[in-house]
Structure 1
């Protein structure tokens, strides 16, 4: 079915490439949960039930069983789904159509979120086709309201109340995206400014009507300060105190990410090779300097050709993960975004050093691999963020000190 929603332009153009996908999600070793309504469909339809019975595994978790009564069995050797045929097509989809798929398979990589009485459609960069759009299309994130695809059995929630807190968060979302897309200044500086804005905006939301500034007045103030060059002076002062501690921490955590022997692990191995790291447990400032050199030589040169590459990824993270803002502290959601930015930037720079250059195709592959191993691993990100908070690396000043240029 079709549903009116606010969505980035590329989300309307998106279509699963199926057999042509370079890294099919059906073989990604992901747990595919079968939602309650789909499970009932399989039980009540004799033909579907006969097809699905050998592939279903009962969910014995008492907490989740009511919502997800079963999962799809994974191939013992590959970890993938045996319902994918050699042709690359899904057997369920091929024989019974998209409405016979579970919620996970039918909706991925889309995410629908309540936007008052409307909906916001965003996309997960862990899909290669989504990553391709983000990297190749400079206007991919143009927001438009109109008709989008929605799975027939999708329950679209419209429970967001139009109270002051909601309006403030929506205004903040618009303000963050406006700043992030202001290419007159570097992306690093935009991220720094947004970090300061989030910190101040959280107080405005918490104080409500008692706040000395409204959210709109705060956004107007930041716009004025940007035009006056105020944040240039702030960044220079902070850079003078750079000790490289956060940079070392981020690099060590990137190389520490657990992964089976797969494409992401191969990418991490290339990063260590490109940066001359022989033991990633023993990192020092020479490695940060090598990383910085690689970024300037390879990643920065690619960004000059395609200035929207990392910007699109960050804005997509904002749409996908920061609104509606589920966490009590907006700062937590923003910390996740700046942390992922530093991790991905390090991965891309190290890869550039290993390959002696970066192409758009490299960025596309690293983006969706990163999406699968990092962005889509909430427990991994939560653990990393807790470490950052404990080490007091969660403030805008620390973020600036991890950047070589701003």
Structure 2
């Protein structure tokens, strides 16, 4: 096969699975599907004496809409893949070879998309090694183009054509370029960068809803000029701040997800440490929890982030690239989802810093963002549920976005 152009963040060139040395496993705790092509290969080799009892542990998905998710591996009572051996290695891979792995297993944690025919590859931070490589680079996420052989049959992708008549698709490249330009502009604190983008996307969605898509380039140009001239700061500082409201909104989000079921022990540990660290064990903010939150923010979070704010910047840039933001029809809603994730991570960090105090270090950051990504970013139902709650309660607006971001 011929090599093709692939756009990727530089950390992808360093990434390789660390196998048994990994502190987590991608072979337990969630649904593992098998594509139809791989399932048929298992049927073909099942009769051979040297093979594993493959089909015994697979169940066809009757309601499957296509061939990519044709069957599901039946996990053990401990929610572990039955093909994971005692050395924390895959028996299918070791006995049959990589070519017998399903699309999901052979590609994870890699994520692939295509924009105007250019393949784009990144990875999810639900993998601890990816989280370390992507988050801990103080120089930020840098993208480059390489030439690589692409196996299209293994390439599960969001596909974007900027000749698409849909306005967001038409201006995708300009919007993404500006988004990353703002996110990586360290002349402004990260919270202000997020507010600038929030103001743009709210205004932009109003224009798109009114059929004024042709205004997108001039809006981007206007915001770019305001940033360069320092005029945008006044607008962002006028947006509301309420620590108590922020805490209650985020506790609501956490409770929703706990109600739906969280079974990842690493993330459950982070939740409990963060809530204990700010004395927020009830569902309402009281004087003690508010003061504990403010103290943890001032005494631990601010000093830590003065040196390491690039970690959250890298998280956002990687996540938006991975999700091909903006890709949907409602750009403000899409952006609010990213803000929700950012705000929850920040909330947990403040609480965990209050819990661990001087013992808090970068290992806690990696543990949180990795376990959070594994729990939330692969559970789209939660994001939709929380956004629906915001809409139903009149909190789906720029003011609520500001409350989630500002301290």
The two structures have a TM-score, normalised by structure 1, of: 0.89
Equivalent residue runs for 1:141-290 within 5 Å: 141-148=141-148, 150=150, 153-155=153-155, 160=161, 162-163=163-164, 165=167, 166-205=169-208, 210-211=212-213, 213=215, 215-239=216-240, 242=242, 244-255=244-255, 257-258=257-258, 259-260=262-263, 262-277=265-280, 279-284=281-286, 286-290=288-292
Q: Which residue of 2 aligns with 1:6?
A: 7
Establish whether residue 33 from structure 1 lines up as the match of residue 33 from structure 2: yes
Distance 1:322 1:248, change over 3 A: farther
Tell me how large the CA RMSD over aligned residues is.
2.6
Conservation of the 8 A alpha-carbon contact between 1:322 and 1:333:
no
Give the Cα–Cα distance (whole angstroms) in 2 for the partners of residues 371 and 40 of structure 1. Answer: 32
1:262 CA drift (Å): 1.6
Conservation of the 8 A alpha-carbon contact between 1:55 and 1:72:
no
Give the Cα–Cα distance (whole angstroms) in 2 for the partners of residues 352 and 317 of structure 1. Answer: 24
Give the Cα–Cα distance (whole angstroms) in 2 for the partners of residues 292 and 34 of structure 1. Answer: 47
Distance 1:359 1:200, change over 3 A: same
Q: Which residue of 2 aligns with 1:20?
A: 21
Q: Which residue of 2 aligns with 1:321?
A: 323
1:394 CA drift (Å): 2.5
For residue 305 of structure 1, the aligned residue among 297, 307, 312 is 307
What is the number of equivalent residue pairs in this alignment? Answer: 398
Give the Cα–Cα distance (whole angstroms) in 2 for the partners of residues 39 and 49 of structure 1. Answer: 17
1:185 CA drift (Å): 0.5
Aligned to 2:321, what secondary structure does the other structure show?
Answer: helix
Give the Cα–Cα distance (whole angstroms) in 2 for the partners of residues 36 and 261 of structure 1. Answer: 29
Deviates most, 360-369 or 241-250: 241-250
1:363 CA drift (Å): 0.3
Distance 1:10 1:204, change over 3 A: farther
1:48 CA drift (Å): 9.7
1:282 CA drift (Å): 3.3
Conservation of the 8 A alpha-carbon contact between 1:99 and 1:153:
no
Give the Cα–Cα distance (whole angstroms) in 2 for the partners of residues 159 and 307 of structure 1. Answer: 31
Q: Which residue of 2 aligns with 1:364?
A: 366
Give the Cα–Cα distance (whole angstroms) in 1 for the partners of residues 379 and 274 of structure 2. Answer: 21
* Alpha-carbon displacement from aligned partner over 1:38-82 (angstroms, at most 9, x marks no partner): 111112235499424355322243344754332112111x21112
Distance 1:93 1:140, change over 3 A: farther
Give the Cα–Cα distance (whole angstroms) in 1 for the partners of residues 226 and 396 of structure 2. Answer: 23
* Alpha-carbon displacement from aligned partner over 1:228-270 (angstroms, at most 9, x marks no partner): 322321233223x647424321134225532237222122111
Conservation of the 8 A alpha-carbon contact between 1:114 and 1:156:
no
* Alpha-carbon displacement from aligned partner over 1:187-210 (angstroms, at most 9, x marks no partner): 0000000111112333455566x5
The two structures have a TM-score, normalised by structure 2, of: 0.89
Distance 1:62 1:376, change over 3 A: closer
Give the Cα–Cα distance (whole angstroms) in 2 for the partners of residues 298 and 243 of structure 1. Answer: 16
Gapped regions of structure 2 (runs ≥ 5): none
1:120 CA drift (Å): 1.7
Give the Cα–Cα distance (whole angstroms) in 2 for the partners of residues 125 and 219 of structure 1. Answer: 30
Give the Cα–Cα distance (whole angstroms) in 1 for the partners of residues 292 and 331 of structure 2. Answer: 34
Conservation of the 8 A alpha-carbon contact between 1:99 and 1:152:
no
Distance 1:322 1:328, change over 3 A: same
Q: Which residue of 2 aligns with 1:130?
A: 130
Aligned to 2:27, what secondary structure does the other structure show?
Answer: helix
Distance 1:52 1:296, change over 3 A: farther
Aligned to 1:137, what secondary structure does the other structure show?
Answer: coil
Q: Which residue of 1 aligns with 2:86?
A: 86
Conservation of the 8 A alpha-carbon contact between 2:196 and 2:236:
no
Equivalent residue runs for 1:83-122 within 5 Å: 83-122=83-122
Give the Cα–Cα distance (whole angstroms) in 1 for the partners of residues 395 and 324 of structure 2. Answer: 20
